Amino acid sequence: KSAGPLLRSGKQPRRRPVMAIDEFLKRVYPGTAEEFCGLAAKAMLTGEKLFVVTANPEILMHACREQDLRDLLLSESAAVVPDGISVVKAMRLCGLPAQERVTGVDLAERLLQKAGEAQKSVFLLGAREEVVSALAGKLRARYPGMTVEYCNGYVEDKDAAFERIRQAEPDLVLVALGAPAQERLIARHLEEFGKGVFIGVGGSFDVLSGSKRRAPAVFVRTNTEWLYRILREPSRLGRFYRNNVKFLGEVKKAAKAARQG
Ligand code: UDP
């Protein structure tokens, strides 16, 4: 009976976090973007398997409540990097070391360059057909020795797309479907692979293909890229506000507990 009004108003019942946010923050990479790119590039070039989760407040909040994401973020098979200044600040508030943010778009750009120079193979999954095909075309023109395959992110069965990826055995797999769907998809299939660097890269293909412009340098430099994205796409504001306010609340709780304990 009590679910009636909730369902009618379209609201979800409130779910309490079952794990403190700092349990995840402890696992986030504390070094520089350049250092992390070096590690990921080495894994890619030496045929290791690595899953990189670019963690933003949204994915961390999901992980506090949902078992599969929690397991993923705490698992040894995933490297977690801070995708956003709020994650870096949260780490510092909890007394953890943190240098700077490591964004999906930077990682994607640098690893594509390394893969191109080393004539490795990449698979791009996600974004609209015209976006991902434009990016694939651009990469093939720039790095003729690199193998580039792709699939857009609006096919009905994205698990079937992973069957193609498994057959291609690429050195680098970029999945651009938005978080946390892209992380869940990678996690479902990771076991099937013996090698490859897998990264969920959000809206990066839109930027790297040239169909959306990245924030001007001043926003990137001052860590206010989030503001630029909201100004360009005001529909992002609600989601941003909800996730960041909740995130800050959880971080403050964890920071207080860390000071007391
Ligand atoms: N996307 C997709 N399939 C879907 C939904 C989204 O391929 O079913 C793509 C979309 O085209 C965009 C990306 O996923 O390129 C998500 O970008 P967004 O900036 O929203 O992700 P964020 O970086 O905020 O996680």
Protein residues with CB under 6 Å of any ligand 1 atom: 126-128, 153-154, 176-179, 202-203, 205-206
Q: What is residue 38's three-state secondary structure?
A: helix
Q: What angle do CA 209, 191, 34 make, to 5 degrees?
A: 45
The backbone torsions φ and ψ at residue 12, rounded to the nearest 5 degrees and listed phi first, read -85, 145
Q: Flag the least confident range among 9-18, 46-55, 103-112, 145-154.
A: 9-18
Q: Regarding predicted confidence, which is higher, 19 or 16? A: 19
Structure tokens at 84: 């956003």
Residues of the chain above pLDDT 70, percent? 93
Tokens of 198: 């897998």
CB 171 within 8 A of CB 41: no
Residue with the smallest CA separation from ligand 1 atom 23 is 202
Task: Tell me what the pLDDT averaged over the chain comes to.
Answer: 92
- Looking at residue 22, the DSSP 8-state letter turns out to be H
pLDDT digits (tens, 9 = 90+) for 95-104: 999 999 999 9
Query: What pLDDT does residue 6 have?
Result: 39
Can you tell me the distance from the alpha carbon of 119 to that of 142, in angstroms, rounded to the nearest whole number? 11
Q: How does pLDDT run across 178-235, given as a tens digit for each residue?
A: 999 999 999 999 999 999 999 999 999 999 999 998 999 999 999 999 999 999 999 9
pLDDT at 9: 43
Distance from Cα 208 to the centre of ligand 1, integer Å: 13
pLDDT at position 16 over 90: no
3/55: higher pLDDT: 55
Distance CA 228, CA 236 (A): 11
DSSP 214-239: PPPHHHHHTT-HHHHHHHH-TTHHHH
Report the 10 Å Cβ neighbour count for 68. 14
CA of 127 to the centre of ligand 1 (A): 6
For the chain, what's the residue count? 261
- pTM, full prediction: 0.91
Ligand 1 center–CA 126 separation, angstroms: 7
3 CA → ligand 1 middle, Å:
32
Q: What is the mean pLDDT of residues 59-82?
A: 93
Task: Examine the pLDDT at 151 and tell me if it is beyond 70.
Answer: yes
Termini Cα distance of the chain: 42
Whether 5 shows a pLDDT value over 70: the answer reads: no
How crowded is the C-beta side of 261, counted as CA atoms within 13 Å?
7
Range in 13-22, 146-155, 167-176 with the lowest mean pLDDT: 13-22
Provide mean pLDDT across the span 51-76.
Answer: 93
Q: What share of the chain is helix, strand, coil (3-state, %, to 5)?
A: 55, 15, 30
